[in-house]
Structure 1
């Protein structure tokens, strides 16, 4: 049976948190947050709840949930079957999401795709992937200053009733102890040396080495997300929570975007400097990053890797790089950002693209599979959602996903943060160790 969607205007809000506060305690509530009005570059907010079905995947690739016909397949095929089960009559609209999948694909889902190994131990026990099938959404377009409810007539009545209720106030949040890292400087230095040995031996060109920080907490994770968002608004933020588990992501990095005409884009970030305390210092740090041969080399290696990944599912000759190592500035850091674009080959779909490029090369290294094996060997614990992707896949073929960096993961009363960076042959151990802290120090400070 086909459900007819209607698009109904709602009062515009320049901040999505007001609308989502009315939904956040509903089953399967999700917020894909552009960070507006403070974050540059973000355009759309997407939020929903009460999915028709939820599909999870464990680290062995076993699929659970979904709808009849989704089990017994590899993760991405199962997710495509779940998406195909949603029969919607969609109006002609510029809005990016008119129903489909919303959720996450954790970094450890890569173990289902490549021979990574199993030396590192799981500490965070979220599924490797969790996606819900949503037949409605509130979508905000900040460029046009509009808010829309996309829903069937029956769903619209439900949602408007939810919006008439008073929002549940966010209970206080606090850490019960400061964040503690699983590596001290000497532990990081030993792993740095091992990476350098692998590079000199020709095993790899670049390795993204990360470390995890954890702290016990009490209280409302929605309050924690609001603190983080205030500290570092970014255009690919997200909040998802299930019981005592949650993802609080403040990512600045797009992984893969796909339009219904088959055009695709990825925006790898490689190269980081902190923002300066004065205008002069800030300008100096930005110029230093833009002129850094080491940081540009990191970025170019990942661009080449992504061109290869995209080439597996793109029309031959369509992959191009319209921006190489462009300087972009955020609330707390400067980054070098490249743009790689292409066109999907006939017969390919958005989830084929995600499977071909997953996980993102900017957070593994090159060559990708060997880099993932070295990461598994050297990092003491698994990454869980960190360095995976969050986002949506729409029934018409639209997709937009982030790289889950600057991301906190809550599980069993503990909050986990990771900081990492790309190591190449001329990397300096002290600079790299400091960079892992620079990327998340502001998040820790906001939560502490």
Structure 2
């Protein structure tokens, strides 16, 4: 883009996206991330695997956000220009206003959907500010309930064209003149190229201290399942998701954990986020929470699971078994109804439709029943309203959602924190893409925590729910063990 084109865009946009493209056939997203990350600054790497286990077209990297927004209950912290401001304000009210006032950008058709914006996580305990009748747990709460960084400059890997798109978003009102704004954007792109060309040394030094702890008392959990079934029989709820927490100590760099997870459990949402206080969010989630793109709101509820077959015949048998499992169908139907109701709160009347119903989608290790619900966002709402209407997902709480969450607080001894929350982004056009934070770890102070849940309905068998918890937790355990033996050091590349 030349300066005349920049000036033309400035007549109708307050944020202008500058970009350059370079060849990327000799560098991977993980290596590029290691080159641009800066310890002590927030950074992220987002990747995705889509149908047939192929890497999706784009991977995204960002480092050094302009602003970091975090909250604990209704206490909001905003870090900008090395200065922290605290407010007593609802996170969602703040985000709704911030997006409405600042996120107005028209993107080129040559660019990926995400070109910068807010990136991070929103934790489960934010239920307390969405629904006051459900008090957030206070036991074992993390330092903050959410943390989002505002990234103006990112890298986008185009895996189809083997290119890296260097992207920077220039806020023209932050500069004394358009010339200054244009020059600053060009300098940002030049700095990115310098970082990508530098040599690095990275030693694979992750070590797991194998003292995995859990609050998972098998017998107690089975008792809880029966108590939940009693609540179902009494008509208090139709379904509930109970989870258990696991804890391990570690040493070294956690990038190997991400590398291991993306190999063992490739998923539509794969993420490595590092925060300034050396906390980390690392995961490979298979499940969307909600997407908003140009007023179209999409949910993809997942409920119903079988492992993949070792032969074609076994695969077919398991798929048929899943499609005819009345427990799985009942659970999925309830969550489908819940999803329609959630979208109905923010979408135009009669626009909410079930586009796909209970299709079998196959992932690396399991197959799921997946549906697709779409609606058109009402003109009075934006993407934050859509997120709030759907959060937390019914697939990690149960139905009716509020009553299920109250019982979760009763039966689970500790805070969920990031588990069952959301990870994703809101771009400068106001679009949103988030996943449910499952198959996800949170690490801080050399301690890793993760959780796994089981959906309980009227005919649940307690022993089977225990097995479901174990199987889901095993994905993370396998990745942690594999991360220790990834022996490739990255040096001078």
CA distance in 2, matches of 1:191, 1:391: 32
The structure 2 residue matched to 1:9, chosen from 7, 18, 21, is 21
- For residue 92 of structure 2, what is the aligned residue in structure 1? 76
Name the structure 1 match of 2:182.
none
Q: Structure 1 residues 20, 424: CA separation in 2 closer, same or farther (over 3 Å shift)?
A: same
Query: CA separation of 1:424/1:144 partners in 2, compared to 1, >3 Å: closer, same or farther?
Result: farther
| Counterpart selection for 2:293 from 259, 269, 279 | 259
Q: Match for residue 465 of structure 2? A: 432
SS of 2:235's equivalent in the other structure is coil
Match for residue 63 of structure 2?
49
* 1:156 corresponding residue in structure 2: 189
Contact 2:75 2:86 in 1 (8 A): no
Alpha-carbon displacement from aligned partner over 1:22-71 (angstroms, at most 9, x marks no partner): 2233511012211479834734322211111001011x221111569994
Inter-CA distance 330–91: structure 2 relative to 1 (3 Å threshold): closer
Cα 1:325–1:140 change in 2 (3 A) is same
Distance 1:193 1:411 in 2: 35
Match of 1:23 among 31, 36, 39: 36
The structure-2 alpha-carbon separation of the partners of 1:281 and 1:38, relative to structure 1 and needing over 3 Å to count, comes to: closer
After TM superposition, list the pairs within 5 Å mapping 1:119-138 onto structure 2: 120-123=137-140, 125-138=142-155
Distance 1:66 1:357, change over 3 A: farther
Normalized per residue, the structure richer in helix is 2
Tell me what 2:254 maps to: 221
Q: After TM superposition, list the pairs within 5 Å mapping 1:346-357 onto structure 2.
A: 346-357=379-390
For the pair 1:61 / 2:74, whether they are aligned, the reply is yes
- Native 8 Å contact 1:272 1:435 kept in 2: no
- CA apart distance, 1:441: 1.1
Name the counterpart of 1:92: 108
CA 1:314–1:91 in 2, change beyond 3 Å: closer, same or farther? Answer: closer
- The question of 1:39 aligning with 2:72 is answered no
Q: CA deviation at 1:109?
A: 1.2
Question: Among residues 173, 178, 183, which one is paired with 2:206 in the alignment?
Answer: 173
Shift in Å, 1:271: 0.9
Which stretch of structure 1 is more off in the superposition, 151-160 or 424-433?
Answer: 151-160
Deviation track 1:231-257 (CA, whole Å, cap 9, x = no partner) reads 111111111122431111110111111
Residue of structure 2 equivalent to 1:198: 231
- Secondary structure at 2:420's aligned position in 1? coil
Q: Are the counterparts in 2 of residues 211 and 419 from structure 1 also a CA contact under 8 Å? A: yes
Paired position in structure 1 for 2:178: none
SS of alignment partner, residue 314 of structure 1: coil
| 1:113 pairs with 2:147 | no
Distance 1:445 1:202 in 2: 39
**Contact 2:74 2:88 (C-alpha < 8 Å) held by counterparts:** no
Match for residue 433 of structure 2?
400
Map Cα deviations across residues 93-124 of structure 1 (whole Å, 9 max, x no partner): 35212221111111111122113555855335
Query: C-alpha displacement at 1:15, in angstroms?
Result: 4.9
Secondary structure of the 2:424 match is: strand
- Which residue number in structure 1 is paired with residue 332 of structure 2? 299
CA–CA separation in structure 2 for the residues paired with 1:438 and 1:87 = 41
Q: Quote the Cα distance in structure 1 between the aligned partners of 2:302 and 2:28.
A: 26
Q: 2:449 aligns with which of 391, 413, 416?
A: 416
Q: Would the aligned equivalents of 2:357 and 2:371 in 1 still touch at CA under 8 Å?
A: yes
Q: Quote the Cα distance in structure 2 between the aligned partners of 1:318 and 1:229.
A: 36
User: Does structure 1 retain, via aligned residues, the 8 Å contact 2:60–2:156?
Assistant: yes
TM-score under structure 2 normalisation?
Answer: 0.85
Does the Cα contact within 8 Å between 2:282 and 2:442 map onto a contact in 1?
yes
Q: Distance in 2 between matches of 1:353 and 1:241?
A: 27
Alignment of 1:321-332 (within 5 A): 321-332=354-365
Task: Select the residue among 284, 299, 302 that pairs with 1:269.
Answer: 302
Residue 318 of structure 1 is matched in structure 2 by: 351
Bigger Rg, structure 1 or 2: 2
SS in 2 for 1:22: helix
Task: Determine if contact 2:126/2:136 at 8 Å carries over to the other structure.
Answer: no
Check whether the contact 2:104–2:430 (CA below 8 A) recurs between aligned residues: no
Q: What is the alpha-carbon distance in structure 1 between the residues aligned to residue 54 and residue 30 of structure 2?
A: 17
Offset at residue 306 of structure 1 (A): 1.1
Q: Structure 1, unaligned stretches of length 5 or more?
A: none
Give TM-score, length-normalised by structure 1.
0.93
Residue 146 of structure 1 and its aligned partner are, at CA, apart by: 4.5
